Amino acid sequence: MLRVASCCLLSLLAVHSAAAQDRVTYLDRSSKTGATLLKSGTITGEDPGKVTLSSGDARRSDVPVSDVIDIAYDSEPTAEMNAARTAERERKYDVALAGYTDAMKKSPSDKKLLRRHLEYKSAEMRTAQADAGVNPAAALDALRQFIKAHPDSRQSLAAYDSLGRLLVIARQPVNEVVEALAGVRSKYGTDSKEVAQPL
């Protein structure tokens, strides 16, 4: 009886640990059809060039940021994230922004990569609102705050791109973006061909 109970407990722990993994959906560059792949594991690092995962057998793999389609973090609040992602796909940016805001409220404070992702998604939704005709001031502020707080994040190049584009549309100088991109390029350009591309 004790042996059966121990086996059941070990099985539950194995299922829980297998389920509690980060999942990275990314573009398969070797596919001619634009297929996507999924890697699961623990994200051990993110920077402007790559996302690094460690699998259960201690193998490490890097996914280029330019290939990442989405990341589902192991501790994300599922209901809020699913609702926000659905609203984003349906281009209901106000609803998506509210969903990502709710997810942030329910995210553990020690899950820094998840919280950073949610901060970026909020800035991205404000950018989408600005693209749809809403005053871009909130998007510009959100992007600047994100970049200031997370200049070396995997989302930084996309944030700089959005910020630069909105500044051009608003007929404002883009010097801050050009200088920041040059800094990212000098820091990460040797590790990532996407980051190393000329400005």
Cα–Cα distance between 15 and 130 in angstroms, integer? 43
- The pLDDT assigned to 9 comes to 40
Report, as an integer, the average pLDDT of 151-170: 94
Sheet holding 22-27, edge to edge: 60-64, 50-54, 36-46, 22-27, 68-72
User: 3-state DSSP call for residue 121?
Assistant: helix
Which helix (DSSP H) or strand (DSSP E) does residue 184 occupy? Answer: helix 175-188
- The pLDDT assigned to 26 comes to 95
Cα–Cα distance between 28 and 187 in angstroms, integer? 27
User: 3-state DSSP call for residue 2?
Assistant: helix
- Cβ atoms of residues 48 and 76 within 8 Å: no
CA–chain centroid gap for 199, Å, is: 23
Outline where 59-155 has alpha helix (H). Answer: 78-89, 93-106, 112-131, 137-149
Confidence check: pLDDT of 90 > 90: yes
Report, as an integer, the average pLDDT of 8-36: 69
- The pLDDT assigned to 198 comes to 52
pTM for the whole structure: 0.83
List the Cα angle 173/191/183 in 5-degree steps.
25
- Which pair of structure tokens corresponds to residue 178? 């050009």
Name the nearest CA neighbour of 47 among 26, 27, 66, 74: 66
Question: Domains of the chain (ranges plus CATH)?
Answer: 20-194 (2.30.30.100)
pLDDT tens-digit readout, 91-147: 999 999 999 999 999 999 999 999 999 999 999 999 999 999 999 999 999 999 999
